[in-house]
Amino acid sequence: MAEAQNLAVRPRTVLGKKVSTLRRQGILPGVIFGGHADSLPIETDLHAFEQRYRRWGNTTLLSLSGIDGGEVSALVYDVSRDPVTGRMLHVDFTRVSLTEKTRADVPLHFVKESPAVRTLGAVLLHALSEVTVEAFPQDIPRAIEVDLSGLQEIDDAIFVRDLVVDATTVRITNDPDELVVKAMPVKIEEEAKPAEAAVPAEGEVAAEGEAAEGATPPTTGAEAAKAPAAEGAKASAAAKPATGAPPKPATGAPKKA
């Protein structure tokens, strides 16, 4: 059973877009919700919370103090961050009961080294980075260790059913046959070889600029269509007299009457 970590918070009166003024003062706005009670806006020290959150994560049981009604047992539900700077913008806490089981996403911590990676050059395919567990808040593990030393051969794998937890206090709700991590072979794609240029047989192709004696060059579809029309045009031109030039006088001496 984990001991609850204390966190000092204060009721928050600054709401809406005005909370940006709190962040500039080093204050992190937040809210407590759930547990069959109304949501409560709160605030806490930004720097102190950020340092401790690195150790806690979202699965550490917290005891929130400094608000009316005494301490509140809670878990971190979500932390919003600036997408550019990564700075914390807001924190959501969810109330929990120490006598009721709850669900939480627990991260997987991969430990040791896989012999398949070390000796066979395999690569690890990580299919899951966290699993969902059901337990009393005080029994939720900070993380679940995954021992990679069992991956000794290519295609060896670890499934959810292989994860080691205290089954008396923690139940993993994921499908037992869901893949967690697998040792995969490294696939090296061979470079495509360039196609070899076809080498014509000796004497098969005439030298450039030479044409086979008596041979007629092939005619394309377009040229074949134009050929009859061209021949007809030539015949028509031969039948018509030349225009624009006067007829030439007959040569030779004229006959005497």
Q: How far apart, in Å, are the Cα atoms of 40 and each of 37, 73, 162?
A: 9, 14, 41
Rounded distance between C-alpha atoms, residue 79 and residue 62, angstroms: 15
Q: Which fold has domain 98-187?
A: RNA Polymerase Alpha Subunit; Chain A, domain 2 (2.170.120)
- CB count within 10 Å of CB 148 equals 19
- With H, G, I as helix, E, B as strand and everything else as coil, classify residue 234: helix
Percent of the chain surpassing pLDDT 70: 72
Given a cut of 50, whether residue 211 has pLDDT beyond it is: no
The single-letter DSSP state of residue 18 is G
Q: Which residue has the higher pLDDT, 247 or 55?
A: 55
Which segments of 83-220 does DSSP mark as H helices, in order?
Answer: 115-120
Letter string b/e over residues 3-30, b meaning 16 or more CB atoms within 10 A of that residue's CB: ebeebebeebeeeeeebeeebeeebbbb
Mean pLDDT confidence for 95-101: 94
What band does 70 get if pLDDT is binned at 50, 70 and 90?
Answer: confident
Mean pLDDT confidence for 115-119: 95
Structure tokens at 4: 């609850």
Structure tokens at 176: 């037992």
CATH class of this structure's domain 1-96: mainly beta
pLDDT given for residue 173 in this prediction? 97
Domain regions of the chain by residue span: 1-96, 98-187
Mean pLDDT confidence for 74-93: 95
Q: Is the pTM of this model over 0.75?
A: no
Tell which residue, 33, 40, 47, 41, has the closest CA to residue 88.
47
Mean pLDDT confidence for 10-19: 92
Least-confidence region, from 58-67, 72-81, 144-153, 203-212: 203-212
Which segments of the chain does DSSP mark as H helices, in order?
Answer: 19-24, 46-56, 115-120, 221-239
72 burial type by CB count under 10 A (0-12 exposed, 13-18 middle, 19+ buried): buried
